[in-house]
């Protein structure tokens, strides 16, 4: 059995490389909250929140891997992103440890995507600031 994957095992690319992967057939998995996703997202993205934010604080979605399994096969090529890169990095570790073989993290997240002019529909100014939800 392979060793447990850690944060340093995650392959991370910038938003331009991620755009190239998406145009070559990779699937974009957005791990932001549903509320964040609904304010703006990459075209054809799948949304499975990795964390939830409540008045009591933030907590990991206990059904994350099960929800991803409904939408993606373990052999699918995935680009994983969030708002700034913190949640997606952790989500990639969980996906790799669950047996997903082709997982790449988009560094900088959706904020970098928007800030670099890659968003088709410019979202609210909320996304123009790089939120650090670490």
Catalytic annotation present for 82: yes
DSSP-derived secondary structure letter, 108:
T
Burial 99-124 (b: 16+ CB within 10 A, else e): ebebbbbbbbbbbbbbeeeebeeeee
Choosing from 27, 72, 82, 92, which is the catalytic residue?
82
123 φ/ψ angles, rounded to the nearest 5 degrees: -75, 175
Task: State the catalytic residues.
Answer: 82
């Amino acid at each position: 059995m392979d060793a447990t994957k850690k944060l340093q095992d995650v392959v991370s690319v910038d938003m331009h490389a991620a755009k190239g992967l998406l145009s070559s057939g990779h699937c974009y998995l957005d791990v932001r909250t549903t509320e964040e996703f609904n304010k703006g997202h990459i075209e054809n993205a799948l949304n499975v929140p990795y964390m939830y934010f409540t008045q009591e604080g933030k907590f990991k979605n206990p059904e994350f891997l099960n929800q991803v399994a409904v939408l993606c096969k373990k052999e699918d090529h995935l680009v994983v992103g969030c708002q700034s890169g913190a949640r997606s990095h952790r989500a990639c570790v969980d996906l790799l440890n669950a047996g997903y073989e082709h997982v790449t993290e988009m560094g900088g997240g959706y904020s970098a995507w928007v800030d670099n002019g890659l968003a088709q529909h410019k979202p609210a100014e909320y996304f123009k600031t790089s939120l650090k939800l670490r």
